[in-house]
Amino acid sequence: MAERPRLAVIGAGPAGLAAALAAAARGVHVTLVDSAAEPGGQFYRQPAPGLRARRPQALHHQWRTWERLRGGLDAHLAAGGVTHLSDHHVWCVERESAGLTVHALLGPDQERPAAVHADAVLLATGGYEKVLPFPGWTLPGVVTAGGAQAMLKGGLVLPGRRAVVAGSGPLLLPVATGLAAAGAEVAALVESADPKDFVRRTRALAAQPAKLAEGAGYAAALLRHRIPVRTRHTVVAAHGGERLEAVSVAALDAEGRPVPGTERRIACDTLAVGHGMLPHTDLAEGLGCRLDGPNVHVDDEQRTDVPGVWAAGEATGIGGAALSLAEGHIAGRSIAARLAGTEPDPRAWAPAARARTRTRAFFAALEGAYAPPARWAEQVTDGTLVCRCEEVTAGAVRRAVGELGAGDLRTVKLLTRAGMGWCQGRMCAPGVAGVAGCELAPGRRLLARPVPLGVLATQAADAPDEDTSAQ
Amino acid sequence: MTNRLCDVVVVGAGMVGAACALYAARAGLDVVVVDRGPVAGGTTGAGEGNLLVSDKELGPELELALLSGRLWTDLAEELGTAIEYEPKGGVVVSATSEGLTALTELAAAQRAAGVETVSVDSDRLRDLEPYLAPGLAGGVLYPQDAQVMPTLAAAHLLRASGARLETGRTVTGVLRGPDGAVRGVTTDRGDLYAPAVVNAAGTWGGEVAGLAGVHLPVLPRRGFVLVTEPLPRRVRHKVYAADYVADVASDSAALQTSPVVEGTAAGPVLIGASRERVGFDRSFSLPVIRALAAGATRLFPFLERVRAMRTYLGFRPYMPDHLPAVGPDPRVPGLFHACGHEGAGIGLATGTGHLIAQVLGGRAPDLDLAPFRPDRFAKEAAS
Amino acid sequence: MNPLDLARARPGTPFTLTFDERRIEALPGQTVAAALWSAGITSWRTTRDEGRPRGVFCGIGVCFDCLVTVDGRPNQRACLVPAESGAEIRTQEGTGHDG
C-alpha cells in the first residue's frame, strides 16, 4: 500500500465518525479506536448485535443521520480507508519524535495492550454525566439519566418499573420519554430549571428551529405517556434501606432553595438523575493540551495547541450531536489538508462552520437556562457521601476546608481522599468542589484508565506492538 | 519595631513550614505561616510521606534523620491516627550478592551511628514480605523507618501549632531595616511585620532567598509516583532495592529509577522512585512510569495484574551537596532557612523545625548546624 | 411494552449464569449488568468502609460503582463485561481481593 498519512481517531461517536469520514474521503488512512463493541458513541449507542434488534431506531433520535454515518463508515471499511478497532480502551496518547502512539487495553477485561501509531490524532472522547450529590444518591436504583439511557439502548433493559427522572438539562426529556416508551412508569420528570429562563433566551434558542421542533416532539411524548412534569423542583433526598424506595421532591424558591412545606414523597424503584455533562479531557491533559475551563482548547480548525493533535465534539465543550458532527467534519478536513502538507481552505467547510457557530450559541443559551439549583450544596447534609468510591462525607470535606486549610480541589482530595478512588474523581469532583466552595479544576488524570502494572512494565522493554489484527 | 505582627513569619505551608510553626509556637513564639497556595500545595502534597533512616549514609543528614525520627515518635502519640503515622519499618533488598555485601556494609556503619538494623537472609525475606519475588540475595530490615500521610501531617501540625495561617497569599519581598536586619515580608495583600522570617518554601526556597538578596541554590528534581487500586495489606513494609540509596546520593541529571514499593493504610500501593533534573517540567513521561512499573513488578510479581489508577509528579528541592539549608543566614540577620531537603523533607521536617525553633529562641541547637549553613555555597549574589 | 418489544428484538436462545449461586437467565449480547437488571438485581458490590450495597450508576464504564467478581476475577465493570453462558458472578466485597 502506498504510504498514506495516518490518522488515529479516538472515539467512534458523532464527532469521531464525522472526522473519520471527512479525512478518509481525502486520502488519509484512518484508524478508528473506540472502547465500545459497536460504533455510535453514547448518542448512537447500538443494541448489542446478539439481541438482534430489528427496530433500534425506536430508541433513538436523528436516526437518518446515523444511517448516513454508518453507511459512509461501511463504505470506507470495505475500501480499506478506515480500520475500526472496537473494544480498545485508550489510556494514554504518547507524543514521540516519530509521531504519536495511541496506547489501549483490549476487550472488556482490559488486561492486554495494543498500540496504534499515527501522524495525527483526533480526540473525540465525548463526555460523561455530571451528578451533584444529595442524601441517598448512593442507593442502588439511583442511576445517572445517561446511564439509564445507555443500558436501555445497549442492553434493552430497564432499571425498574417506576422511575423518577430528575435534575437539570436537555438530556432529561429523551430519558423520560425513552423510559416510558420502553414500558417504565415515569412517575415524574423533575427539572430544577425555570421555564421563564427559556423564554428570556428565546432569541438564541429560536435560531435553532430543528432543536425547538425536537423539544415540541418531547412535549407531545410527555403528554402521550402522561409523565407529570415538575419544573423549578428538585429531588431533596432519595429514601430506602438496601435499595431505592422513594424520593422526596420539593419546589424551589427564587434563590434556589427548597420551599418549606412543598416536599412530597414519590414512591419509585428508579431515580434517573443528571445535572448536565462534562467533557472527557484526560488524554488531552496527558498530552499537555491547553484547556479552557473544563474543555480542550481548539482553534477554528479544531486543532489543540499540541502539534498533531486535534479535538472535536463534547471534549471541546458540551454541545450535543449536531455540534459534534460539525466539529468532527471540520477537524477531518483540516487534518487531511495538514497531513498532505497544505494549508486548508476554511471556505471548504463554511456550512459546517456556520452550524458550529449557531449550535455553540444555542448551547450557551441552554446552559444558562438549565442550571442546578443555585443553593444545591446547602442541601447536602454532613452525613451525605460526596465521594462514592472512597466514601467521603460532605462533613469531612467541610472540615478539610474549615479546619485544615484546604483551599482547592487537590488539597481537599489529599486531606479527605475524595477523588482518589476507582473513578479518580470523575463522579465526585463537581460535588466536592461545590461543597468545598472551591473551583472545579481539571483533574489532571495522566492515566486515562486503570492500567495493569504488568502492561506498563512489559512495554518498558519492548517496542509497542502495531495492532492491525482487529478489524 | 513598628506594627510588629508576630515573632516569626514562616514562608511555606508545606511539611517543613508546618513543623517549624509547631516547634516555634511550642517554644512560646507567635507565628504566622504564609503560602501562595493552599496547605501542602507544593512538594508535600506530591510525596509519599517517608520517614526514613535506612537510605541515609553516615553524616549530618543521618543525625538529623535520627533526631527527626524521635520527634515523630513523640508527635505520633498526640496525632498518630490523624496523620496516618505507621511505624512499619523498611526492608532494603538486593538481588545480587555484590549488592548485598555493599548493603550489609552500609548497614554496619549505620548501626555504629545508632540506627537499628537487622540482617535478613534470603530464605527469611518472605517471612517479612510474603509476596516478595523469590531468589533475592537478601536484605536488611530497618525497624525505625516509618510513614505518614504528608498532607494530613502538614495540615494537622499547622493546626496543632495554633499559628495563624495565611494561604493564597504570595510573599513578594523581604523587608529589611537600615541595619540590614529582617523586618518582615511584603505580600500581594499587605505587609507582615516580624523580626524573624523562616524560609520553608521547599523547592521554591531559592526564590524566597533571592527576595532577601541572597543566593541559595535549590533546584527541582522531578519524581513520579504510581498509585495502584486499593488492595488488602500485601506489602507490609516500605520495600526498596539497594540501588535506591545510590540514586538518592547521585549527582546525575539524567533519569534514574529504582523501585520503592509500599502499602498504605488506605489500601493503594505506592510505587516510586524516579529522579530527573528537568527543571519545573510538569509534562507526563510514559517511559518513567514504565520504568517504575517494571521495577515494582520485579520486586513484587503479584503487582503485574494489579492496576495503576493514578500517577502524579512532584519536584524535590535538591541542593548540590544533597544536604538541606537549616539555620540562620549570616548574610541577613533575622532570616532563617529550612528548605532543600530533597526527597526527605517529610521525614526531616520535625528535626528541622525543632532546630529552627531552638535558634529562633536564641538557644544552642541540639545538632551542629555547620553542615547545613545556608551560605556554604561559594557563589554569592550581592546582598 | 418492554424494551425488547419496542426495538423488535429477536434475541438468540437465552443461557444461564449464576449470581451468588442463584441461577439467572441472560440473553446473548447483554452485559453482566443488563442480565442482572433483567433478573431484578440492582446491587452486587459492597463498599470497603461501610459495606453498603452498590450497582450500576453511570452505566458507561466511568464511575466503577458496578464492580463485580466474574469467574474469580474481581473489579470487573458489570456495565462493560458481556454475560457469558455459565459465568459465575459474585457479589464483590471490599477491594475484591482476598485479605
Q: Looking at this protein, which amino acid is placed at residue A338?
A: R
B228 contact A CB<8A: yes
- Measure the CA angle with vertex A136, ends A130 and A142; round to 5°: 55
Choice between A27 and A210, residue whose per-residue pLDDT is larger: A27
> What was the pLDDT predicted at A216?
77
pLDDT in tens, chain B (383 residues): 456 789 999 999 999 999 999 999 999 999 999 999 999 999 999 999 999 999 999 999 999 999 999 999 999 999 989 999 999 999 999 999 989 999 999 999 999 999 999 999 999 999 999 999 999 999 999 999 999 999 999 999 999 999 999 999 999 999 999 999 999 999 999 999 999 999 999 999 999 999 999 999 999 999 999 999 999 999 999 999 987 777 777 777 778 888 899 999 889 999 998 999 999 999 999 999 999 999 999 999 999 999 999 999 999 999 999 999 999 999 999 999 999 999 999 999 999 999 999 999 999 999 999 999 999 997 644 43
pLDDT surpasses 50 at C60: yes
Question: Which of C3, C29, C50 minimises the CB distance to A183?
Answer: C3
Side chain identity at residue A98, one-letter code: A
Q: Report whether A391 contacts C32 (CB < 8 A).
A: no
Using DSSP, state whether A326 is helix, strand or coil. Answer: helix
CA atoms within 13 A on the CB side of A467: 25
- Residues β-bridged to residue B198: B10, B336
Give a yes or no: residue B58 inside a domain: no
Which of A56, A109, A129 faces C7 most closely, judged by CB atoms? A56
Give the chain B residue whose CA is nearest to the CA of C98: B232
Instruction: Give the neighbours of chain A: at least 3 Cβ pairs within 8 Å.
Output: B, C
The answer to whether residue B205 is domain-embedded is yes
Question: Are the Cβ atoms of B294 and A450 closer than 8 angstroms?
Answer: no
Pairwise CA distance, residues C37 & C25, whole Å? 11
| Structural domains in chain C (count) | 1
Residue A241 has phi, psi (to 5 degrees) of: -95, -80
Size of interface A-B (CB pairs under 8 A): 124
Query: What's the mean per-residue pLDDT of chain A?
Result: 92
- Residue A81 confidence (pLDDT) above 60: yes
Instruction: Name the closest residue on chain B to residue C49, using Cα atoms.
Output: B266
**CA distance linking residue A424 with residue C5, whole number of Å:** 38
Considering CB atoms only, which of B151, B290, B309 is closest to A456? B290
Does B227 lie in the same domain as B284? yes
Nearest by Cα to A362 from A206, A255, A214, A257 = A206
Residue A198 CA to chain centroid, in angstroms? 23
Nearest Cα neighbor of A238 from A261, A272, A262 is A272
Q: Is residue B85 part of a domain?
A: no
Q: Which of C47, C95, C98 to mutate to test the interface with B (most CBs of B within 10 A)?
A: C95
- Asked if the model's pLDDT at residue A470 lies above 80, the reply is no
Q: Are the C-beta atoms of residues A389 and C64 closer than 8 Å to each other?
A: yes
C47 touches chain B (CB under 8 A): no
CB atoms closer than 10 angstroms to residue B48: 22
Interstrand relation of C22-26 and B238-241 (parallel, antiparallel or unpaired): unpaired
CB contact under 8 A, B167 and A405: yes
Q: CA B117 to CA A456: how far, in whole Å?
A: 34
Cα separations in angstroms, A156 against A35, A181, A298, A330, B73: 19, 12, 37, 34, 59
Q: Residue C32 domain-assigned?
A: yes
Q: Chain B: residue nearest A415 by CA?
A: B152
Task: Give Cβ neighbours of residue A128 (< 8 Å, ≥ 6 apart).
Answer: A146, A277, A278, A280, A426, C58, C60, C62
pLDDT tens for each residue of A85-143? 999 999 999 999 889 999 999 988 899 999 999 999 999 999 999 999 999 999 999 99
Q: Last residue of some domain: B287, B318, B349?
A: B318
- The secondary element (H helix, E strand) that includes residue A17 is helix A14-24
HSE at residue C35, side-chain half, CA atoms within 13 A, is: 29
Q: How far is A356 from chain C (nearest CA, A)?
A: 27
Give B232's contacts in chain C (Cβ within 8 Å): 94-95, 97-99
- The residues facing A164 across adjacent strands are A188, A271
Residue B71 lies in a domain: no
Q: Write the DSSP symbol of residue A19.
A: H
Q: List phi, psi (to 5°) of A33.
A: -105, 120
On whether residue B190 sits in a domain, the answer given is yes
Q: Are residues B223 and B211 in the same domain?
A: no
DSSP reduced 3-state for A210: helix
Which one, of B136, B102, B117, lies nearest residue B52 by Cα? B117
State residue A346 phi and psi, 5-degree precision.
Answer: -60, -20
A443 lies within 8 A of chain B by CB: no
Residues B205 and B326 both lie in one domain: yes
C88 occurs within a structural domain: yes
- Separation between Cα atoms, residue B360 and residue B194, nearest integer Å: 12
pLDDT at B258: 84
| Share above pLDDT 90 across residues of chain A, in percent, rounded to a whole number | 83
Confidence of residue A200 (pLDDT cuts 50, 70, 90): confident
Which chains have at least 3 CB atom pairs separated by less than 8 Å from chain B? A, C
pLDDT tens track for A423-444: 999 999 999 999 999 999 888 8
CATH of the domain at B301: 3.30.9.10
Judge whether residue A469 has pLDDT over 70. Answer: no
Domain boundary among B303, B318, B333: B318
Across the beta sheet with A264-267, the strand order is A233-240, A244-251, A264-267
Q: What is the CATH number of the domain that holds C53?
A: 3.10.20.440
Q: How confident is the model at residue A467 (pLDDT cuts 50, 70, 90)?
A: very low
Q: Which of A35, A56, A157 sits opposite C37 (nearest CB)?
A: A157
Selecting from A94, A450, A461 the residue whose C-beta is nearest the C-beta of B229 gives A450
Q: Is B359 on the interface with C (CB under 8 A)?
A: no
Please check whether residue C6 lies inside any domain of the structure: no
Domain count, chain B: 2
Q: How many contacts (CB atoms, under 8 Å) link A and C?
A: 167
Do B104 and B226 fall into the same domain?
A: yes
In a domain, B59, yes or no: no
d(CA B9, CA B336) in angstroms, rounded, equals 10
Residues 6 or more apart in contact with residue A413 via CB below 8 angstroms = A419, A420, A425, A432
Q: Which residues lie below 8 Å from residue C84, measured CB to CB, with a gap of 6+?
A: C17
How far apart CA B137 and CA B131 sit, in angstroms, is 16
Q: Could you say which residues from 37 to 56 on chain A have a Cβ atom under 8 Å away from some Cβ of chain C? A: 42, 47-56
Does the beta-carbon distance from C48 to B230 stay under 8 Å? yes
Task: Please give, rounded to a whole number of angstroms, the shortest distance from the CA of A8 to a CA of chain C.
Answer: 22
What is the Cα–Cα distance from A205 to B14, expressed in whole angstroms?
Answer: 50
Q: Give yes or no for a contact between A145 and A131, defined as CB atoms under 8 angstroms apart.
A: no
Chain C 58-97, residues with CB within 8 Å of chain B CB atoms: 75, 94-95, 97
Is C39 contained in some domain? yes
Tell me which chain C residues have a C-beta less than 8 angstroms from the C-beta of A55. 6-8
Q: If residue A434 lies in a helix (H) or strand (E), which one and from where to where?
A: helix A429-436
At residue A459, the pLDDT reads 66
Grid coordinates representing B142?
Answer: 530497618
User: Containing domain of residue C88, as a range?
Assistant: 16-93
Asked, as a colleague might, if the bond just before B194 is cis with ω within 30 of 0, I would say no
Mutate to test the interface with A, among C60, C76, C89, C92 (most CBs of A within 10 A): C60
Interface test with A, best of B33, B35, B151, B302 (most A CBs within 10 A): B151
Residue B43: CATH number of its domain: 3.50.50.60
Chain B residues with CB-CB distance to C98 below 8 A = 232
A455 touches B314 (CB < 8 A): no
- Which chains are adjacent to chain C, needing at least 3 Cβ pairs under 8 Å? A, B
CA B68 remoteness from chain centre? 11
What domain range includes position B19?
8-47+151-218+321-382
Q: Does residue B363 share a domain with residue B236?
A: no
Distance (Å, whole) CA B342 – CA C56:
45
Mutate: best of C1, C2, C6, C79, partner A, most A CBs <10 A:
C6
Option in A415, A444, A459 nearest B290 (CB): A459
Cβ contact, residue pair A53, C8, below 8 Å:
yes
Half-sphere exposure of B183 (CA within 13 A, CB side): 11
- C9 domain-assigned: no
Task: Indicate if the pLDDT at residue A15 is higher than 90.
Answer: yes
Tell me if chain A has a CB within 8 Å of the CB of B160. no
**Residue of chain C whose Cα is closest to the Cα of B231:** C95
Q: Which residues, 6+ apart, have CB-to-CB distance to C98 below 8 Å?
A: B232
Same domain, B244 and B306: yes
B364 lies in a domain? yes
Give the angle A276-A280-A283 at the CA atoms, nearest 5°.
170
In a domain, B61, yes or no: no
Please give, one letter per residue, the 3-state secondary structure of chain B.
CCCCCCCEEEECCCHHHHHHHHHHHHCCCCEEEEECCCCCCCCHHHCCCEECCCCCCCCHHHHHHHHHHHHHHHHHHHHCCCCCCECCCEEEEECCHHHHHHHHHHHHHHHHCCCCCEEEEHHHHHHHCCCCCCCCCEEEEECCCEECCHHHHHHHHHHHHCCEEEECCCEEEEEECCCCCEEEEEEECEEEECCEEEECCHHHHHHHHHHCCCCCCCEEEEEEEEEECCCCCCCCCEEEECHHHHHHHCCCCCCEEEEEEEECCCCCEEEEEEEECCCCCCCCCHHHHHHHHHHHHHHCHHHHHCEEEEEEEEEEEECCCCCCEEEECCCCCCEEEEECCHHHHHHHHHHHHHHHHHHHCCCCCCCCCHHHCCCCCCCCCCC
Instruction: Name the percent of chain C lying above pLDDT 70.
Output: 99
Interchain CB distance below 8 Å, B267 and C48: yes
Rounded to the nearest angstrom, the minimum Cα separation between C62 and chain A is 6
> Would you say residue C80 has pLDDT above 60?
yes
Check whether residue B313 and residue B228 sit in a common domain: yes
- Report the run of H or E that residue A196 belongs to, with start and end: helix A195-200
Is residue A462 pLDDT above 60, yes or no? no
**Pure H helices in A295-349:** 320-339
Mean pLDDT score across all residues of chain C: 95
Strand partners, A262: none
How would you classify the pairing of strands A309-311 and A244-251?
A: unpaired
B133 and B225 belong to one structural domain: yes
C72 beta partners? none
Q: Give which of C42, C46, C54 to mutate to test A binding, by max A Cβ within 10 Å.
A: C42
ipTM score: 0.97
Nearest C-alpha in B relative to C99 = B232
**Are residues B338 and B189 both part of a single domain?**
yes
Instruction: Report the distance separating Cα C4 and Cα B22, nearest Å.
Output: 66
Cell of A121: 490524532
Grouping H, G, I as helix, E, B as strand and the rest as coil, residue C17 is: strand
Does the distance separating the beta carbons of C57 and A143 come in below 8 Å? yes
C-alpha cell at A71: 453507511
Pick among A45, A51, A242 to test the C interface (most C CBs inside 10 A): A51
Distance from C61 to chain A by nearest Cα, in Å?
Answer: 9
pLDDT for A464 equals: 41
pLDDT of residue B344: 95
CA distance A302 to A330: 7
The reply to whether C1 falls in a domain is no
**Which pLDDT does position C99 carry in this prediction?**
64
pLDDT at A465: 42
Shortest distance, CA B54 to any CA of chain A (angstroms): 26
Q: Tell whether A450 is within 8 A of chain B (Cβ).
A: yes
Q: Does A421 contact chain B (CB < 8 Å)?
A: yes
Coil vs helix vs strand at C51 = coil
Q: What is the pLDDT of residues A144-197, one digit of tens each?
A: 999 999 999 999 999 999 999 999 999 999 999 999 999 999 999 999 998 877
The Cα B167–Cα B33 span in angstroms is 8
**B309 shares a domain with B177:** no
Which domains occur in chain A, in start order? Answer: 6-128+278-344 (3.50.50.60), 146-275 (3.50.50.60), 380-461 (1.10.10.1100)
